[in-house]
């Protein structure tokens, strides 16, 4: 798979540590909702480093959106989130990953469960669902630490509809103004904000490894078939 | 011809960084990457089988029989296609040479099969002669479920998705047959030193 040159068209801060990069990619072949790309940075002396990032933009979007969290001890993310300016170029190749993808031809209910930055590939699914005005029903359960760290909050307000429900839960209550859910994603929340196993929803779970382990196990315990649960984990280092 | 990212320096002071394949970086922890829930494996129902190219069962071990086979310690570097590498990891397991001992075959390919219908394909030549093991311990303790326990294939000279977690057996094949990730865009062979990550690499 060959590398393509991407030009930064816009950068948008999503929170204190998270930035969305909007890229113009020459000859982008298109992607499916849930896929990722490899990004390569090259220093003046030829040293290079690669990392993988999930695609937040839906298939068919004009620009490729990558949403990146700055890890202070990371090698690539500080450059992407801080140093990169509009007009700068970087190398990307993709799309990659043919499993953690939502097929819009599938009309079964969908449950998306995201932890922290794990919401990013789920955004591509939610946005595609909205763009298609899809007949099926999609529900997103999204957990993040604090209110200030909620990504895409304004967009959730716009996307939330009869067939698309977004539930946000905060795991650290630091805001007296927050009237939404509190606490980790557990069986009770998955029952209330998700689907009964009887309707056999397609489940997509993405987040840090302990989050995905806990949510996937909870879904299995609630009676969802393991075959219906697709997971994408990132470790403390793997999302760097 | 690539492009240069002005101001990017990278982290090249990593000890041991010279020993990782192109495009990889070193980690000290052990990230988990699995496509679905971690399966719970019942040791009483566990077995490991070798199926020959006719589809016949050529060998089978229960858990206790498997654990009675001669085992060896392996210290090796591992490389995940998602870019992380980990040096000098310590495993204990049964050599695939031991598992294939006495099985006459002229086939050239093998598919490892595992819980949840996961499969991965390999040339037979890559799993014999001390290159692959069915491991049951990591870093001195029983292999944890999230890392593939109770038993995981280890083929450290290829990207780690070839080292099937929760492995249950090997199927010998006359013709190569792409496995799970190999059918979803990942390279058929997966040599990290040639950076064979994806189709066409």
- Residue boundaries of the structural domains of chain B: 22-29+42-194
Dihedral over Cα of A82, A87, A92, A96: its sign? positive
Q: How far apart are CA A132 and CA A70, in angstroms?
A: 32
Tokens 């101001």, located at residue: B7
Residue A226 with chain B: CB contacts under 8 Å:
36-37, 39, 116
pLDDT at B15: 64
Q: Which residues contact A109 (CB under 8 A, 6 or more apart)?
A: A136, A137, A138, A139, A195, A199, A200, A201, A202
Q: Are A160 and A130 in contact (CB under 8 A)?
A: no
- Partner residue opposite B31 with nearest CB, options A98, A227, A235: A235
Fold of B22-29+42-194: Sulfite Oxidase; Chain A, domain 2 (3.90.420)
Residue A32 with chain B: CB contacts under 8 Å:
none
Tell me how far CA of residue A67 lies from CA of A152, A194, A223, B143, in angstroms: 10, 25, 33, 34
Whether residue A238 has pLDDT greater than 80 = no
- Partner residue opposite B9 with nearest CB, options A43, A99, A240: A43
Q: Which two three-digit tokens encode residue B134?
A: 């069915």
DSSP A129-198: HHHTT-SS-EEEEEEESSGGG-TTHHHHHHH-BTTEEEEEEESS---TT--SEES---HHHHHHHS--GG
Residue B187 with chain A: CB contacts under 8 Å:
none
Residue A55 is given by DSSP the state B
Q: Which residues of A205-215 are buried (b: 16+ CB within 10 A; e: fewer)?
A: bbbbbebbbbb
Lowest mean pLDDT among A22-36, A85-99, A192-206, B22-36: B22-36
Give A106-162 pLDDT, tens digit per residue: 999 999 999 999 999 999 999 999 999 999 999 999 999 999 999 999 999 999 899
pLDDT at B11: 79
ipTM, 2 dp: 0.89
Q: Which residues contact B42 (CB under 8 A, 6 or more apart)?
A: none
How far is the alpha carbon of A42 from chain B, nearest alpha carbon, in Å? Answer: 5
Helices (H), ranges, chain B: 63-67, 96-99
Q: Are A90 and A174 in contact (CB under 8 A)?
A: no
Residue B183 with chain A: CB contacts under 8 Å:
98
CB contact under 8 A, A42 and B9: no
Residue range A50-64: mean pLDDT, rounded: 96
Count of residues in chain A? 240
Residue B186 is given by DSSP the state B
How far is the alpha carbon of A63 from chain B, nearest alpha carbon, in Å? Answer: 20
pLDDT bracket for residue A236 (50, 70, 90): low
CB contact under 8 A, A90 and B184: no
The residue among A111, A121, A233, A236 with the most chain B CBs within 10 A of its CB, best to mutate, is: A233
Q: Give the count of Cβ contacts less than 8 A between chain A and B.
A: 123
Spans in chain B with pLDDT lower than 50 = none
DSSP A58-104: PTT-SSEEEEEE--TT-SSHHIIIII--TT-EEEEEEEE-SSS---T
Dihedral over Cα of B98, B101, B103, B107: its sign? positive
Q: How many CB atoms lie within 10 A of CB A236?
A: 14
DSSP B83-117: SEEEEEEEEEEEEHHHHTTT------EEEEEEGGG
pLDDT at A82: 94
CB contact under 8 A, A96 and B185: yes
CB contact under 8 A, A43 and B116: no
Whether residue A10 has pLDDT greater than 60 = yes
Give B10-43 pLDDT, tens digit per residue: 876 666 667 899 999 988 888 878 889 999 899 9
Count of residues in chain B? 201
pLDDT at B49: 98
Strand order in the sheet with A164-170: A181-182, A164-170, A138-144, A110-115, A202-208, A229-234
Q: How far apart are CA A69 and CA A63, in angstroms?
A: 19
What is the average pLDDT score of chain A? 93
CA A3 and chain centroid, separation: 23
How far is the alpha carbon of A228 from chain B, nearest alpha carbon, in Å? Answer: 9
Q: Are B180 and B120 in contact (CB under 8 A)?
A: yes
Residue A231 with chain B: CB contacts under 8 Å:
34-37
pLDDT at A41: 96
What is the reported pTM?
0.93
Q: How far apart are CA A32 and CA A125, in angstroms?
A: 9
The residue among A81, A93, A231 with the most chain B CBs within 10 A of its CB, best to mutate, is: A231
Q: Are A41 and A79 in contact (CB under 8 A)?
A: yes
pLDDT at A239: 37
CB contact under 8 A, A52 and B82: yes
Whether residue A62 has pLDDT greater than 90 = yes
Q: How far apart are CA B4 and CA B1, in angstroms?
A: 10
Please check whether residue B4 touches A, CB under 8 A.
yes
Task: Please compute, for residue A31, the number of CA atoms within 13 A of its CA located in the half-sphere on the CB side.
Answer: 31
Q: Which domains does chain A have, with CATH numbers?
A: 4-96 (2.40.30.10), 110-234 (3.40.50.80)
How far is the alpha carbon of B149 from chain A, nearest alpha carbon, in Å? Answer: 15
Q: Which residues contact B156 (CB under 8 A, 6 or more apart)?
A: B74, B76, B77, B78, B79, B163
């Amino acid at each position: 798979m060959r590398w393509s040159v991407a030009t930064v068209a816009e950068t948008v801060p999503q929170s204190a540590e998270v930035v969305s990069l909007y890229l113009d990619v020459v000859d982008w072949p298109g992607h499916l909702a849930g896929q990722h790309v490899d990004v390569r940075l090259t220093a003046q002396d030829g040293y290079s480093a690669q990392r993988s990032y999930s695609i937040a933009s839906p298939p068919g979007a004009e620009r490729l959106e990558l949403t990146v969290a700055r890890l202070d001890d990371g090698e690539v993310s500080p450059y992407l989130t801080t140093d990169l300016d509009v007009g700068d170029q970087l190398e990307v190749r993709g799309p990659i990953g043919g499993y953690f993808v939502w097929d819009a031809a599938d009309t079964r209910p969908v449950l998306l469960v995201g932890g922290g930055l794990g919401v990013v590939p789920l955004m591509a699914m939610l946005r595609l669902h909205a763009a298609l005005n899809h007949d099926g029903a999609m529900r997103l359960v999204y957990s993040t630490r604090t209110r200030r760290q909620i990504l895409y909050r304004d967009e959730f307000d716009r996307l939330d509809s009869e067939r698309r429900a977004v539930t946000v839960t905060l795991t650290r209550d630091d805001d007296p103004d927050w009237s939404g859910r509190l606490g980790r994603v557990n069986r009770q929340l998955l029952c209330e904000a998700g689907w009964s196993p009887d309707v056999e929803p397609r489940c997509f779970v993405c987040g840090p490894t302990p989050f995905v382990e806990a949510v996937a196990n909870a879904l299995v315990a609630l009676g969802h078939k393991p075959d219906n649960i697709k997971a994408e984990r990132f470790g403390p280092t793997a999302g760097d | 011809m690539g492009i240069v990212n002005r101001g990017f320096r990278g982290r090249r002071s990593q000890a041991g960084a010279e020993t990782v394949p192109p495009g990889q970086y070193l980690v000290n922890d052990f990230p988990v990457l699995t496509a679905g829930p971690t399966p719970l494996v019942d040791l009483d129902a566990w077995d490991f089988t070798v199926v020959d190219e006719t589809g016949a069962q050529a060998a089978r071990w229960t858990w206790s029989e498997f654990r009675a086979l001669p085992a060896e310690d392996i210290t090796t570097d591992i490389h995940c296609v998602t870019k992380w590498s980990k040096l000098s990891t310590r495993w204990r397991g049964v050599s695939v040479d031991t598992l294939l001992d006495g099985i006459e075959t002229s086939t050239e390919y093998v598919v490892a099969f595992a819980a949840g219908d996961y499969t991965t394909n390999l040339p037979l030549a890559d799993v014999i002669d001390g290159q692959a093991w069915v491991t049951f311990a990591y870093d001195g303790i029983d292999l944890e479920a999230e890392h593939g326990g109770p038993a995981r294939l280890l083929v450290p000279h290829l990207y780690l998705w070839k080292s099937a977690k929760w492995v249950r057996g090997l199927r010998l094949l006359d013709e190569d047959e792409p496995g799970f990730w190999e059918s979803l865009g990942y390279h058929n062979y997966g040599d990290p030193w040639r950076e064979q990550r994806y189709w066409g690499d």
